[in-house]
Amino acid sequence: MTIKIPAWSFSSIKTFEQCPKKFYHLKVVKDYQEDQGAEHLLYGTAYHEAAEHYIRDDTPLPPQFAFSKGVLDSLKNRPGKKLCEYEMGLTENLEPCGFKDPNVWWRGIADLIILEDDGTARVVDYKTGKSAKYADKGQLELMALAIFKHFPEVTNVKGALLFVIAKAFPKAAYSKDDEPKMWEKWLRDHGRMRRAYETDVWNPRPSGLCKKHCVVLSCSHNGRS
């Protein structure tokens, strides 16, 4: 049986890298799923919605998020066109397409893009985790690559992860000239995931997260099975 390879995203490639077996159960056969009702996930979703409406529609922040008004104001007041929760897709030929297009190969949603007049774009991803110690800027790099395709006039992207609770703002900068080099890594990572689909081999990758945190209870490395 041929398994259709779905469009990938930063989160899916990270799940695969963490453990191909976990990816298989969550994304391929889907006999397990993450706890979408977990408190931290609900909080993060609510914050994203509040920030979107505050910056785009000037809707007042709910009281529980008022603590971040200052930093959101600094983004809101920056010059440039604001795009909130902006959906982007790319084809396998790295051409821009719609988020839900039939030929979409990669897809991602930018929490906030600010398009400035000088060919610079800013992309911000909101994080509600309590620590920025293990911040992964790979998501920003992928967003930058998509922005270069969707907005050809953009030559430089300045990205940042906004940890609203940890009060951290890890930043990164990307140049359109470096596109080919940046794509090498992601195409290599995607190639490994593609081979797993083609061979139907999903080997577990045990780690310290298995026993207490993995939802795939049928795995021999899960301490709760």
Q: Is residue 219 part of a domain?
A: no
Q: Is residue 179 part of a domain?
A: yes
Q: Is residue 221 part of a domain?
A: no
Whether residue 37 is predicted with pLDDT greater than 70 in this model: the reply is no
The whole-number pLDDT of residue 218 equals 85
Angle formed by the axes of helices 10-18 and 179-199, to 10°? 60
Give residues with Cβ within 8 angstroms of 134, minimum separation 6: none
The whole-number pLDDT of residue 107 equals 97
Confidence band (pLDDT; 50, 70, 90) for 40? confident
Q: Is residue 222 part of a domain?
A: no
pTM of the model: 0.92
Domain that holds residue 176: 10-213
Q: Is residue 3 part of a domain?
A: no
Q: Is residue 43 part of a domain?
A: yes
> How far apart, in Å, are the Cα atoms of 201 and each of 7, 68, 153, 192?
19, 45, 42, 11
Pairing state of beta strands 156-163 and 120-127? parallel
- Average pLDDT estimate for 87-113: 97
- pLDDT tens profile 178-212: 999 999 999 999 999 999 999 999 999 998 878 87
- pLDDT tens profile 21-31: 999 999 999 99
Give residues with Cβ within 8 angstroms of 147, minimum separation 6: 88, 110, 113, 121, 123, 154, 157
Q: Is residue 23 part of a domain?
A: yes
Total count of domains within the chain: 1
Determine the Cα–Cα distance for residues 112 and 185; give it in Å rounded to an integer: 25
* CATH number, domain containing residue 156: 3.90.320
